[in-house]
Structure 1
Amino acid sequence: MPETPTAPLRRRRPAFLVTIAATAALVAGLLSLPGAQQQAEAAPATFVHPGVGVSRGQLDFTRTQVLAGAQPWKGAYDQMLASKYASLTRTPAPRSVVECGSYSNPNYGCTDEREDAIAAYTTALAWYITRDVRYAQKSIQLMDAWSATITDHTNSNAPLQTGWAGSSWPKAAEIIKYTYTGTWANSARFGTMLRNVYLPEIINGSNSNGNWELSMMEAAIGISVFLEDKGVWDSAMAKFRTRTAAYVYLSSDGAVPKTVPSQNLNTTAKIVAYWQGQSTFTTGLTQETCRDFVHTGYGISAISHVAETSRIQGIDLYGTDVGERLRQALGFQAKYQMGEAVPSSLCGGSLTLGLGPITEVGYNAMHNRLGYGMTNTQNLTMQNRPSGTNNLFVAWETLTHGDNLS
């Protein structure tokens, strides 16, 4: 069964969000008008900083909870600080050209780049919570090493690799640039790296499996915030909205899922093949559910990250079909990840599990903020706390988003 819209948990719902929820139907109606989609996707008039993935309010809440020893945040913080990504002795490993083939084979700098980017974000978080300048300086060292060195990504996985690393770099940079009290002399060079090395590889999207384009657009949206580039935001958001609708199925879509026009999936047979051979479509099913839950988790996570960054920037995607697709995708996958029997009509009765630490952001937004009952997702989220990192582009989301209404 899909996640059902049970009665809102009004005791947990800030008053201004009641207004958002109450106008969701109006927003949906406006989106059907000519030109309304473009308006809904438009960049904010003024960008908010820090504003990629996590806001200053969320950072302040997290810091307060950790310093008070409150759970689950203190446990999540301890987990983060004990990880290799928080090490103050970490040595950056930049390359001029990062070459990544299919499944990172060959792997010439792929793991190093992704993990240095996660480490830059991790130490930026550690700086904010502890105010220990050594962590800020380590984050800067990592970002400076790569911005002084990298010139290109090559081979077949280059767009995805760029999307993964490019999702973490802006999160780190936003925290350091807008909260660190010291000097980051090379912040402009870092921005140039994002614009000249990362954006060209991702901004035009991908016709591969949907998690590729979703991760690439997550990176592009984050980069657009750091660069304060409204044109990049608008381009990335348009692709994101189209891909999200084509990645998660809702019964309101019709007999078959929506498609991305450039892929020319113009027959049911083509759509079924692209959806891993699945011909029965159920609300919450994703384009990669029958492939495996690992890649499905990548796609769902990217959707949640873009929605959260948009919320921080004053744009409510949670009140559109993006939020509904996110909620249903989480619930659908979560119940099987928790062990519910798989019907024969779904992927031939067999699923490859491994959703990963990807539920906190969407669960917090849709359940804690907007009041939807999400039993499946809640059970999985609580079981996985504190959630760590997938070593690609997801990191420490119990710490930053667990029950965080800021």
Structure 2
Amino acid sequence: MTDGSPVTEGPGSADGGGASGRGGFVHPGVLVSRPQLDFVQGKIQAGEQPWKAAYEQMIKSPYASLERVPRPRAVVECGSHSNPDYGCHDEREDAIAAYTDALAWYLSKDERYAAKAIEIMDAWSGRVAKHTNSNAPLQTGWAGSVWPRAAELIRHTYNKWHDADRFATMLRTVYLPQVINGSNANGNWELSMMEAAVGISVFLDDRSAYDKSVVRYLNRVRAYIYLKSDGEFPKTVPGGGTQSRSDIVKYWQGQSTFVDGLAQETCRDFVHTGYGLSAISHVAETSRIQGRDLYPQVGERLRQALGLHSRYQRGEGVPPWLCNGRVNLGLGPVTEVGFNAMSSRLGAAMPNTQALTEQQRPAGSNNLFVAWETLTHARNPS
């Protein structure tokens, strides 16, 4: 077996589509951009669907509550499956709340939401020092994916965040070192960690960390979703040690028949597979905003994976060659970003993904790192 040719691309260049930082980054530019949100704002003001319903869903959620009290910890300890859970749930919930408030601020221009987002982010940046136990890398990846989305919107659209530099220091010293070097665990771990690393790098204007993270991300995507063009067996992660046929089959949860769109965790369950697919789409969106379009490299894998998993999530019978004829469902609200990118913007046919996406609208949150993607990405050309 072989890794193929691992990705070693050099730096990309930003397109100048927004305010640029020291590294040439576009701000705000983590998952959502100013033109993208301006498009959404216009749709809400016009009362158009699905944006109106998606906005109402968000603003009525507990995440948007102006009564929320943040619950930071100095040490967040997360074991397997968040057991023990010493601050794990609180950290993820507060990060989503900060992002929710940042979106609410931009779309409504109600300063109370900006103030609440700042309150939450300041509470954590003033206290958290480290993450511990076995799930520390994944926990840091999940929360670290969401914090920069909130921080980008507040720092670059609101001029009253006095402790923004302290928040940046938190991301650089507490989060980035935990995620930047990836993981040899299941693919959803490393993909979530790279999403965090890319978003943090944009907020910090750190071109070196951004480029390093994108290279690791691209290599992991190739090893996470199979295409027939890969050959008889899936690609493997450079340096990952999974080389023999038996190693690969074991790593792919016992699956030995490979088809377009199959993911490394398909036969584990669709929940974790959805985490990986979501992170893939999020990094591609952020990089597109930054002027480095990764969809030519990851788009077909993402399209095929979304289509395959959407078919079975919608109830199609599972053939005996796939996961011994049985799959564990639960894909989650993770299809909107990839569907918008590949179908709405690029015109690719995605009938099964479209059906599932429209069935799930308005998509809410998975309570980990996905939130309000019908609102931000449904039919969004920006």
Q: Shared fold by TM > 0.5?
A: yes
Q: Which residue matches 2:92? A: 114
Cα deviation for residue 262 of structure 1 reads: 2.4
Q: Which residue matches 1:341? A: 317
CA deviations 1:195-225 (Å, max 9, x no partner) are 0000111111000000000000000000000
| Change beyond 3 A, Cα 1:351–1:176 | same
Match of 1:88 among 60, 66, 74: 66
Determine if contact 1:207/1:262 at 8 Å carries over to the other structure.
no
Match of 2:346 among 366, 370, 377: 370
Cα deviation for residue 184 of structure 1 reads: 0.5
Question: Are residue 78 (structure 1) and residue 56 (structure 2) matched?
Answer: yes
Cα deviation for residue 266 of structure 1 reads: 1.4
Distance in 2 (CA, whole Å) between partners of 1:254 and 1:97 is: 45
Determine if contact 2:145/2:196 at 8 Å carries over to the other structure.
yes
Bigger RCO (CA 8 Å, 6+ sep): 1
Distance in 2 (CA, whole Å) between partners of 1:66 and 1:173 is: 23
Q: Which residue matches 1:61? A: 39
Q: Secondary structure at the match of 1:143?
A: helix
Determine if contact 1:43/1:234 at 8 Å carries over to the other structure.
no
Distance in 2 (CA, whole Å) between partners of 1:260 and 1:166 is: 23
Determine if contact 2:72/2:123 at 8 Å carries over to the other structure.
yes
Q: Secondary structure at the match of 2:27?
A: coil
Q: Which residue matches 1:38? A: 9
| Change beyond 3 A, Cα 1:325–1:56 | same
Distance in 2 (CA, whole Å) between partners of 1:42 and 1:149 is: 35
> Equivalent residues in 2 for 1:17-32 (5 A)?
none
> Equivalent residues in 2 for 1:196-215 (5 A)?
196-215=173-192
Determine if contact 2:40/2:51 at 8 Å carries over to the other structure.
yes
Q: Which residue matches 1:275? A: 252
Q: Which residue matches 1:47? A: 25
Cα deviation for residue 36 of structure 1 reads: 8.2
TM-score by length of 1: 0.90
Q: Secondary structure at the match of 1:262?
A: coil
Distance in 2 (CA, whole Å) between partners of 1:195 and 1:224 is: 9
Distance in 2 (CA, whole Å) between partners of 1:38 and 1:274 is: 27
Distance in 2 (CA, whole Å) between partners of 1:156 and 1:87 is: 32
In structure 1, runs of 5+ residues without a counterpart are: 1-31
Q: Secondary structure at the match of 1:242?
A: helix
Equivalent position amino acid for 2:129 in 1: T
Q: Secondary structure at the match of 2:48?
A: coil
Distance in 1 (CA, whole Å) between partners of 2:45 and 2:150 is: 21
Q: Secondary structure at the match of 1:263?
A: coil
Q: Which residue matches 1:187? A: 164
Q: Secondary structure at the match of 1:306?
A: helix
Q: Which residue matches 1:292? A: 269
> Equivalent residues in 2 for 1:142-221 (5 A)?
142-180=120-158, 182-221=159-198
Equivalent position amino acid for 1:149 in 2: R
CA deviations 1:356-381 (Å, max 9, x no partner) are 00000000000011000100100000
Kindly report the root-mean-square deviation, in angstroms, between the aligned alpha carbons of the 2 structures: 1.3
Distance in 2 (CA, whole Å) between partners of 1:294 and 1:358 is: 10
Cα deviation for residue 42 of structure 1 reads: 3.6
Question: Are residue 229 (structure 1) and residue 209 (structure 2) matched?
Answer: no
Cα deviation for residue 46 of structure 1 reads: 1.4
Determine if contact 2:7/2:218 at 8 Å carries over to the other structure.
no
Q: Which residue matches 1:141? A: 119
Distance in 2 (CA, whole Å) between partners of 1:37 and 1:329 is: 24
Q: Secondary structure at the match of 2:71?
A: coil
Distance in 1 (CA, whole Å) between partners of 2:147 and 2:198 is: 12
TM-score by length of 2: 0.95
| Change beyond 3 A, Cα 1:120–1:109 | same
> Equivalent residues in 2 for 1:314-333 (5 A)?
314-320=291-297, 322-333=298-309
Cα deviation for residue 235 of structure 1 reads: 1.0
Determine if contact 2:6/2:219 at 8 Å carries over to the other structure.
no
Determine if contact 2:198/2:283 at 8 Å carries over to the other structure.
yes
Cα deviation for residue 261 of structure 1 reads: 2.4
CA deviations 1:225-280 (Å, max 9, x no partner) are 00000010011111101100000000000100000122211100000000000000
Give the count of matched residue pairs: 371
In structure 2, runs of 5+ residues without a counterpart are: 15-22
Question: Are residue 389 (structure 1) and residue 365 (structure 2) matched?
Answer: yes
Equivalent position amino acid for 2:320 in 1: S
| 347-356 or 59-68: bigger deviation | 59-68
CA deviations 1:44-65 (Å, max 9, x no partner) are 4610000000010011011111
Determine if contact 1:43/1:230 at 8 Å carries over to the other structure.
no
Q: Secondary structure at the match of 1:153?
A: strand
Match of 1:361 among 318, 337, 340: 337
CA deviations 1:169-191 (Å, max 9, x no partner) are 000000001111x4100000000
